[in-house]
Structure 1
Amino acid sequence: MKARIAGTGMYVPPKVVSNFDLEKIMDTTDEWIRQRSGIETRHHVEGQGTADLAYEATLKALADAKCEAKDLDLIILATLSADHMFPGSSALLQAKLGLETTPSMDLRAQCSGFLYSLNVAKAFIESGVYKRILVVGSETHSPVLDFTTRGRDVAVLFGDGAGAVVVEAADDKSSSSVGNIIIHSQGQFADRLWIERPGTQGGTWLTETHLAEGKQYPYMEGRYVFKHAIERLQEVVKEILEKENLKLDDIDHFLFHQANIRINEKVAELMKIPLEKCPSNIQKYGNCSAASIPMLLDETVRSGRVKRGDKLLLAAFGAGFTWAAGVVQF
């Protein structure tokens, strides 16, 4: 039994925020943002949450897979920006889909969350436990960003959006399949990219001191994360190619997590991957964390750039640190 991606979908909220819009509220410039990240615009929610975005992306993925919500055996939602501390956004999504007792769960692996979730779906399907699983990456970053000069290094990078895939069982003769997926984490670097508060560490949740120090906003050691991302992405790409007994030339498209175009360009340069094999949409959407890879997959499929039968390599690096890579015969 194999697992295959039967359908894809994505959604971003209507509001577009340009670099020029950010110039008006913080000390930054369009040139500065584009030179360092490649980002020109991003989308921000207005009155929507993570489950709302996930719902819209899910409807498109279900339609593409030619199935209905009632056909799903399991929902896995990857996010670092849940609607509530609990319950998980997957439960809210399940209710929005009109389902009664279909199991659902959130998975928190930050920017690597989609690949972690796809790996879980693949294992459930190949073991025969489930036949059809919805995997969603959905993020609403904008409500928790610091849109002042203090927070500009992070605030300019992130956008809101969702991407979804329907993963279903296929027989061993199927030309479409989810191949091996390799996942890693290294928690010793957790505080290099995180939102420290609110949280239970140290026996406190959120104090006036935390608020005054901006602990409720994302913090990133940019250069450190940049360096590690380039190193780990190269390593995991090589690792998955070896696992699959493939060469770089065997891959039709490299779908890298859309965190920073400079990271992906450097990885491609060092590994001698032609840039034309590395589609990108970070220019329009910014970093959508767990949603970025399924969003990119959906866009490249719907544009005709990725076709059935193409061999894809998906790779991500994010907070935790976490990183992952997988091969998909689309």
Structure 2
Amino acid sequence: MTQLRKAKIAGTGMYVPPKVVTNKDLEAVMDTSDEWIKQRSGIEQRHHVEGIGTSDLAFEAAKNAMTAANVSAEDIDLILLATLSPDHQFPGSSAVLQAKLGLSTTPSMDIKCQCSGFIYGLNVGKLFVESGQYNRVLVVGAEAHSPVLDFSTEGRDVTVLFGDGAGAAIIEASDDDSQIMHCSLHSQGEFANRLWIERPGTAGGEWLTEAHKAERQHFPYMEGRYVFKHAVTRLSEVIHETLEKNDLTLADIDHFLFHQANLRINEKVAAMLEIPEEKCHNNIMRYGNCSAASIPMLLDECVRQEKVKKGDIILMAAFGAGFTWAGSVIKW
């Protein structure tokens, strides 16, 4: 039986739109405060789009990743775009990104696994490269949340948490010890309505009515405490599972990159597992929750700041709507 080749991340990139929205800015449009937001989430500011959408953010992040990997768009065999905030209901934003990259018939696919989307995409890309079907895969996590947020006091619990941005990675065959190792993926749809945007949608045979709008079903809804509790539990579980599947221990990991949903979730998980503070990286204070983009953005920052060195072992873990959760180990 032919042995599968290994897949690695050859380059990373990120992009956030230039508009910065601070907690003080939000104080001007809703009943909230800088102190309340920081205490609850650790967030100090976030970036919001102006006149552009998800595929535009993805395009910029992809260009940066390709530069880092020293490849061109023509070298890409497959595009995977993880997002919960597509440019349009259809077609998928991956196809829009493909056109913006100037490609002709390169296959593209959207992955809608919310905050776990990048790790899901990483696993899909890894399998394609390992199998030999494709030599190089572009995986992007991109989100433009701000156009669908409710900037009123009634919507503040969700709105203060989210930002816009994109992160990307180039996956290709590895000729050394660098590799994407086992990924652990999970979902639990019975809790879908604890964190969602209910409308527009086809459930019940109706798309979006005035009654739906009156009930605020077209704005994001989150049952915060419930999500927090499940996130802490599932992140801890998937970290242990991912370590076990890769025959590693917590002490073997050089860098922990958790999804940037809430700094307090990450702090609690790290404390429960007794992970040293210097091994846990966070950037939520500057960008807020960028859903599928959070982990690749954080990875790119760590790489460009030279925190990650050749041979380092990185563990990534995410939890999000669906519920979905996932973990992955990378040897850099």
TM-score band w.r.t. shorter chain? over 0.9
Q: Find the counterpart in structure 2 of residue 95 from structure 1.
A: 99
CA apart distance, 1:259: 0.3
Spell out the pairing of 1:21-36 with structure 2 (5 A cutoff). Answer: 21-36=25-40
- The answer to whether residue 84 in structure 2 is matched with residue 80 in structure 1 is yes
Alignment counterpart, residue 20 of structure 1, candidates 20, 24, 32:
24
Spell out the pairing of 1:128-147 with structure 2 (5 A cutoff). Answer: 128-147=132-151
CA RMSD of superposed structures (Å):
0.5
Structure 2 CA distance, aligned partners of 1:308 and 1:296?
17
Structure 2 CA distance, aligned partners of 1:168 and 1:125?
6
Q: Find the counterpart in structure 1 of residue 229 from structure 2.
A: 227
CA apart distance, 1:140: 0.1
Q: Find the counterpart in structure 1 of residue 284 from structure 2.
A: 282
Deviations 1:242-292 (A, max 9, x none): 111111010000000000000000000000001110110000000000000
Deviations 1:173-214 (A, max 9, x none): x12100000000000000000000000000000000111111
CA apart distance, 1:39: 0.1
Unmatched 5+ stretches in structure 1: none
Structure 1 CA distance, aligned partners of 2:221 and 2:101?
34
**Counterpart amino acid of 1:144?**
V
Spell out the pairing of 1:201-216 with structure 2 (5 A cutoff). Answer: 201-216=203-218
**Counterpart amino acid of 2:179?**
S
CA apart distance, 1:309: 1.4
Structure 1 CA distance, aligned partners of 2:157 and 2:104?
43
Structure 2 CA distance, aligned partners of 1:134 and 1:8?
10
Structure 2 CA distance, aligned partners of 1:243 and 1:46?
43
Q: Find the counterpart in structure 1 of residue 164 from structure 2.
A: 160
- The answer to whether residue 186 in structure 2 is matched with residue 184 in structure 1 is yes
Report the secondary structure of 2:281's partner residue: coil
Spell out the pairing of 1:284-303 with structure 2 (5 A cutoff). Answer: 284-303=286-305
Unmatched 5+ stretches in structure 2: none
Q: Find the counterpart in structure 2 of residue 315 from structure 1.
A: 317
Spell out the pairing of 1:55-70 with structure 2 (5 A cutoff). Answer: 55-70=59-74
Structure 2 CA distance, aligned partners of 1:146 and 1:314?
30
CA apart distance, 1:28: 0.4
TM-score in terms of structure 2 length? 0.98
**Counterpart amino acid of 2:35?**
E
Q: Find the counterpart in structure 2 of residue 123 from structure 1.
A: 127
**Where does structure 1 differ by over 2 angstroms across 4 or more consecutive aligned residues?**
none
- The answer to whether residue 14 in structure 2 is matched with residue 40 in structure 1 is no
Report the secondary structure of 2:309's partner residue: coil
CA apart distance, 1:217: 0.4
CA apart distance, 1:122: 0.7
**Counterpart amino acid of 1:5?**
I
- The answer to whether residue 13 in structure 2 is matched with residue 9 in structure 1 is yes
- The answer to whether residue 116 in structure 2 is matched with residue 112 in structure 1 is yes
CA apart distance, 1:320: 0.2
Report the secondary structure of 2:106's partner residue: coil
Structure 2 CA distance, aligned partners of 1:247 and 1:32?
37
Report the secondary structure of 1:33's partner residue: helix
CA apart distance, 1:45: 0.2
Q: Find the counterpart in structure 1 of residue 196 from structure 2.
A: 194
Number of aligned residue pairs: 328
Structure 1 CA distance, aligned partners of 2:194 and 2:277?
29
Q: Find the counterpart in structure 2 of residue 324 from structure 1.
A: 326
